[in-house]
A and B are shown apart, each in its own frame.
Chain A
Amino acid sequence: MGEENKYQPVIGLETHVELNTETKMFCGCRLSFGDEKNTHTCPVCLGHPGSLPVVNKKAVEHAIKIALALNCRINEYTIFHRKNYFYPDMPKNYQISQYDIPLGVEGHLEIDMGSYVRRVGITRVHMEEDTGKLLHTGSTGRISESEASIVDFNRAGTPLIEVVTEPDIRSPEEAREYMVALRNLILFLEVSDCSMEEGSLRCDANVSVMEKGAAKIGTKTEIKNLNSFRFLQRGLEYEVKRQVEVLESKGRVIQQTRHYDNRTGTTKALRSKEEAHDYRYFPEPDLVPIYVEDKTVEEIRKTIPELPSEKAGRFGSEYGLPAEDCVFLAGDMDMADYFEESCRHYDNPKNIANWIMGDFSALMNKNGIKTISESRVTPENLCRMLKIVDEGKISSKMAKSVFEEMFETGRDPGSIIESRGLEQISDESILGSVVDEVISENPGPVAELKGGKEKAISFLVGKVLAKTKGKANPQLVVEIIRKKIG
């Protein structure tokens, strides 16, 4: 058990994102969503003799968007390469991809781990085309148990963006958080549906372990078939444990590709002997270079909404909110806008934040409301309520109940307070006479309080509130009691 603390996982992730363009990467076929097999194909994406690719402009723009959002440097020009290997889901038995001059390089994504922030380097962002789909015949549908397979080329040629990280990830939890953050980011950009279940977001991991403090990094294995956040974390946990066990028993980790089996929660080396693929990359002669002008990059940059991380940072500096608040509010675009709109009507951002994160969110969850702007509470009304509390017209406890009615009915706080007659009593003379009554009716607790038992004051305050039907200003009551008792 303790051996695991001796070792440090070193993890890099390769993620493929299917874009939501109208057409495929290199031909005009529409993208397919569960359609009849082979109904979204043409000579190009079927790899017919004589067919040629033509690059989808929108796919390039989306790719630039992703690269910018990941703080990458966009290369001055970028070219496509052929990656040669044979497989039945490959129409040409080479994939048009990118190799040594990809679209974006040297970026990063920061992930918030709660007590610390991990900056994950992004090595590259590049464009390529997806393969077709294989269905394996036989009852289990698994490749090792079928006698034949059937190929559907509807998906072949779908634009894919590959995002590769540096091996900066240091734990399976971080890996999961990275994927969550990456997914949120890309959803934000509206360039993909990003569904791991549907396969529009896929990831493979490269994992090794090294002794903490050691200079040399360990041998890495590639883990495939991690198709949910949960499986990703589980699979990596298993693999790290496995590698540690191998090393602890004086063995060597073999560089290989392993498949995550979600039934057993383990990784297994692929059955066939995996030799390192020789992809024979060479520049795609059927395509010409893409020179990315600064002007284009800036135009695309302008279309990127403020990213959650940027927004969170700005909330911190502009509104002076602590990090957890910023992350919470900035994580949801709608909520962030609501918050900022509220700040225009009221000058205590922390107070607004507390209400949004607390009672407001709780009521939303309870009532199944997903976006804050769908609720009946307008930013203006929220602020009115907060001002009323500040003015001492109602207690904060009373505000909870007022807010609930605001949430239910959409009415403004003023009219609710008036119709329910909830205005807080802050008149010292009125309160003073009630306090006198309570003191005379409760000699016991008064004596305890005089004797130093602090708890007694809550009892006495409670009595005052009961007599005033909850309308007494509690802070004032406390002050008055103390003055009278000494």
Chain B
Amino acid sequence: MGRISKDDVRYVAKLAELEIRQEEIEKMTSQLDKILDYVAEVSRVDTEGVTPVSHILDIKNVLREDVPKESVAQETALENAPDEKDSGFRVPKID
């Protein structure tokens, strides 16, 4: 218990660009705390000399020839845009 504090939660939420409302911070903190406490048990496993596996079949050197493929049309690229302006994706004031 006490693995993650409310401040930690606020900080992590900021990194993840999520807004957790005041009323929910408590609940979120306690839920995350429980989960993290459980998964933290991996720290007890002896992993001396163990290297992580990158692909189960050890695939390497997957490379693509530098040959152009057709891009999508401009309308298609903008099809799903929530706010389009001047053939671009508009976003509000960058803060």
Contacts and interface: CB of A to CB of B under 8 A. Distances in A.
Establish whether A and B are touching in the complex (CB under 8 Å): yes
B34 interface: no
Interface string A62-93: 00000000000000010100000010100000
A330 B86 CA distance: 49
Interface centre among A58, A153, A288 (most CB of B within 10 A): A288
Given A148-B92, A288-B54, A59 B66 contact: yes
B60 A23 contact: no
Contacts of A149: 90-91, 93-94
Interface stretch (B19-27, B36-44, B67-75): B67-75
A28 B68 contact: yes
Given A22-B68, A283-B54, A148 B90 contact: yes
B66 A57 contact: yes
A151 B88 contact: yes
Given A28-B67, A56-B63, A79 B54 contact: yes
A88 B93 CA distance: 11
Interface residues of B, number: 34
B91 A148 contact: yes
Contact of B71 (A22, A42, A77, A280): A42
Interface stretch (A32-40, A397-405, A440-448): A32-40
A57 B60 contact: no
A281 B7 CA distance: 22
Interface string A263-289: 000000000100000101001000111
B60 A77 contact: yes
Contacts of B74: 36-39
The DSSP consensus for interface residues of chain B is loop
Interface string B2-20: 0000000000000101000
Contacts of A278: 15
Interface string B80-95: 0000011111111111
The DSSP consensus for interface residues of chain A is loop
Given A36-B74, A86-B17, A88-B89, A56 B94 contact: no
Contacts of B50: none
A280 B70 CA distance: 33
Contact of A152 (B70, B88, B93, B94): B88
Given A23-B69, A39-B71, A290-B61, A151 B17 contact: no
A151 B71 contact: no
Contacts of A37: 74, 86-88
Contact of B86 (A21, A22, A88, A150): A150
B65 interface: yes
A151 B89 contact: yes
B1 interface: no
Contact of B90 (A86, A150, A272, A289): A150
Ranked nearest first, the 5 interchain pairs of A and B with the lowest CB-CB distance are A28-B69, A150-B88, A58-B66, A57-B63, A37-B87
Given A147-B93, A149-B93, A288-B59, 11 more contacts: A23-B64, A29-B71, A37-B86, A41-B77, A54-B63, A136-B94, A148-B85, A149-B91, A150-B88, A151-B89, A151-B90
12 contacts: A30-B68, A36-B87, A38-B88, A54-B62, A56-B64, A57-B64, A58-B65, A59-B66, A60-B63, A86-B17, A88-B94, A283-B52
Interface of B: 15, 17, 52, 54-55, 59-74, 77-78, 85-95
